[in-house]
Structure 1
Amino acid sequence: MTGYPTDRHGLIYRSTALDAGFTDTEITRAVTRGDIVRVARGAFAPPGDRTPEQIHRLAAIATSELAGGSVVVSHQSAATVHGLEMLQPSLRRVHLTTGSPAGAHRTTTRHEHVGVLADDEISIVDGIVITTLERTAVDVACTTTMGFAGALAVFDSALRLGADRAEMQEMVQTTRRGVGRARRALRYADGKAENPGESWSRAQMIEAGLSSPRLQHQFRDVQGNEIARTDFDWSGLLVGEFDGMTKYQKHLRPGETPFDAMRREKQREDALRRTGVMVIRWTWKDLQDGRVVPMIREWLARLGLTAA
């Protein structure tokens, strides 16, 4: 694919392509061949290995640009622009807030939410008018289909990115739908949780009434040498680790493969066990199938730790 004009975000717009001498037929053929990828009506991007969140981010930016900045990108769409991590978000539609108390509208590609936004709830990121980080997190927490876990995940992520907890607490003191769940999740939110899988793990522990674990503790051997920083631990005797492939990919060292990172993780786990710490692990599938809480409860009981 060559010659198509792109903007600062790497987007190709039908209007600018036509101005550059391309025809609709050429654009359609380019999409069919995979030379360009349609991300929104009238907007395309060069092909590439993108996550669903990255593709949706481009769609949200394109929608805003095509509207001339007259709409405010919000909810899950604003989250992708801010870089907020969400738990299994629905990214089928670009979400916008109308600034009006009435007139919500939904199509197959757009979801326009009603609501008046205060000036301090709107920001500009990469030239796009979107809801602030705090307002975005609250909107997602109130509307997520993943319930308490989804709300906790987005608040954990917001705090990791530096969101103001006090501002979010003020925002959830309303009567909007889903705000009770959001209020409860914000109470438990902790920026030390490093990804949505860890947030979902903690949500299941909270809802089951398990003893609260310590997050991201640095373990050392008797000589004081660093051994490992763990996802969860109880009294320094039981360690819980959430395993996701993104975890290994995110922390790759130069020249490493995911397999190398997994082997390093195994060595780290062996070092913990040599100090008398029990290590248990779980995956996305374990969370989906409800196996995590029974496993933790069993080991808390075996080790004589408190299990509510």
Structure 2
Amino acid sequence: MDESDAHLFYVRDLPSESYDGRRGHARAAVAGSEMRVARGVYADATWWGSLDQRARYVARVKAVERTRLRQPVISHWSAAVLHGLPVVAQSLATVHVTAPRATGGRSYPGVTIHCVPLDDDVVELDGVMVTSLPRTLVDIAASAKTISSVPALDFALHEGRRGEKPPLLARTELWDAHSRRMPFAGHARARAAIDFAVTDADSPLESVSRVNFMEIGFPVPELQHRFDDHRGLIGFSEFYWPEHRLAGEADGKSKYTDPRYRRGRTLEQLLLDEKHRADRIRALGVSVSRWGWRTAIDPRALRAHLLAAGLPLPSRPRARNRGTGA
């Protein structure tokens, strides 16, 4: 039994004659002492308020899974969350379930039903049946925008710097899952996203930046470029455009809050170390440009930011005027 089982109240577990008990949960939700998590499922409001957005979504997924007549297969973004993949906030608006066409069903508010073949792409996670990791990623890549699917793909393929950790899966597993699904709607979009994914993106912020580089038309940068000076290793820059002597740093909040990055340093020491690192890179004749989520997610803002930093857009060939033969 996981933590949510102790805090979720299922109306179906009440005696059928307990009309007042069933109505009691609805009244408590109106009063604010309980929260309606899913159809026929309520939670203590204090406990619910202590959860972050992702934990609330996991509780909602499990509530839906346990109230369906047949045990469902959780899929798409819902499966991605259970697999531990990064997801965009907008994807947490509904619980995704995949069912064979013969036994499918209708979507309803808060639950989206996908009636497509499952083959053998199903695994069990903590007692919940979910699409396998490769199938989940292919489903996402086929149905979501590239800026949403690539962070999840990059995360699953990530090997760490110099291959310091094994990836969650190999790219060949994605292609196998893609082949098993064929033919399916969105297969070309999924193929393009899988092709675009890389093994050395360190964060979803880097992945989003890469997608928008492509959308804007900026040159493709080197990833995780190593810089050294006479004192030895300076560090690695997320992006580097050698022709323009420009290093790009995508700085998310986790860089300053995650213990893995801070390694016991205070915030003040971390900021000072980052300044010294950037100064050493600039001493090599390389400019350093930094940006965060607000800039990365907005192509217009990222375009303006990098143009100001000195990264030019490649000139496009002028269209020929067919009328004059020019």
TM, length-normalised to structure 2: 0.76
CA distance in 2, matches of 1:88, 1:148: 15
Which residue matches 2:164?
none
The structure number with the bigger radius of gyration is: 2
Which structure 2 residue ranges, 5 or more long, are not aligned? Answer: 159-166, 317-326
Question: What is the aligned counterpart of 1:285 among 294, 308, 315?
Answer: 294
* Structure 2 counterpart of 1:134: 134
Query: Is 1:232 equivalent to 2:239 in the alignment?
Result: yes
Instruction: Verify the 8 A CA contact 2:38 2:64 in the aligned structure 1.
Output: yes
Q: 1:219: which partner in 2?
A: 227
Residues 264 and 170 (structure 1 numbering): CA distance in 2 closer, same or farther, change over 3 Å?
Answer: same
The 5 A counterparts of 1:168-247 are 168-173=174-179, 174-224=182-232, 226-235=233-242, 237-247=245-255
Q: 1:1-308 maps to which residues of 2 (within 5 A)?
A: 7-11=1-5, 12-14=8-10, 23-24=21-22, 27=25, 31=29, 37-41=35-39, 42-44=41-43, 46-67=47-68, 70-100=71-101, 103-119=104-120, 121-144=121-144, 147-160=145-158, 162-173=168-179, 174-224=182-232, 226-235=233-242, 237-250=245-258, 251-254=261-264, 256-257=266-267, 261-286=270-295, 287-296=297-306, 299=309
> 1:203 & 1:94 partners in 2: Cα distance?
26
* Residues 76 and 89 in structure 1, CA contact (< 8 A), matched pair in contact too: no
Tell me, what secondary structure is at the counterpart of 1:111? strand
Identity rate of aligned residues, in percent? 29
Q: CA–CA distance in 2 between the matches of 1:266 and 1:69? A: 57
User: How big is each residue's C-alpha offset from its partner over 1:49-82, in whole Å with a ceiling of 9 and x where there is no partner?
Assistant: 4332322122112222333771000001001101
Counterpart residue type for residue 130 of structure 1 = V
2:322 is aligned to: none
| Cross-structure match for 2:320 | none
Distance 1:238 1:164, change over 3 A: same
TM-score by length of 1: 0.80
Unpaired stretches in structure 1, ≥5 consecutive residues: 1-6
Say if 1:218 and 1:23 are closer, same or farther in 2 by CA, change over 3 A. Answer: farther
Native 8 Å contact 1:96 1:110 kept in 2: yes
CA distance in 2, matches of 1:9, 1:23: 23
Distance of aligned partners of 1:277 and 1:255 in 2 relative to their CA distance in 1, 3 Å threshold: closer
Deviation for aligned residue 1:232: 1.1
1:90 to partner: Cα distance: 2.2
Aligned-partner SS, 1:105:
coil
Distance change (3 Å), C-alpha of 1:216 and 1:295: same
Q: Note the aligned Cα RMSD (angstroms).
A: 3.3
Q: Are the counterparts in 1 of residues 75 and 136 from structure 2 also a CA contact under 8 Å?
A: yes
Amino acid at match of 1:275: L
Q: Check whether the contact 2:25–2:42 (CA below 8 A) recurs between aligned residues.
A: no
